[in-house]
Amino acid sequence: MPEIGQETKARHWSRTRNLTILVLVIWFVFAFVLPWFAKELNAFSFLGFPLGYYFIVQGSLIVFVLLIFFQNWRQDVIDDEAGVGEE
């Protein structure tokens, strides 16, 4: 396996850090911001459920699972471009 240069390591870490920050920001919005406004969202309904309830119970769970797949996919791309984890 070839040695990875310092510049490649720094770029890899920068991209990994930025991806982590993005995922955490999205997670924060769906874990804390939307529930904070759930009472206001309950003025509307979706499929017979209050919108705030629906967002928190269904939407957040869907987003969290999608975030897992998104982060894994993007991290694989970042690792492949940097030559990390190749066997």
pLDDT digits (tens, 9 = 90+) for 23-65: 999 999 988 888 888 888 888 887 888 888 877 888 889 999 9
- Provide the mean pLDDT of the chain: 88
In angstroms, the CA 15 to CA 19 distance is: 6
If pLDDT is split at 50, 70 and 90, which confidence band does 87 have? low
If pLDDT is split at 50, 70 and 90, which confidence band does 19 have? very high
Q: Is the pLDDT of residue 72 over 70?
A: yes
pTM for the model stands at: 0.78
Q: Is the pLDDT of residue 1 over 70?
A: no
* Contact assessment for residue 60 and residue 30, using Cβ atoms and an 8 Å cutoff: yes
* Contact assessment for residue 31 and residue 60, using Cβ atoms and an 8 Å cutoff: yes
Chain centroid offset of residue 74 CA = 10
Residue tagged 């309904």 (tokens) = 45
More confident residue, 52 or 19: 19
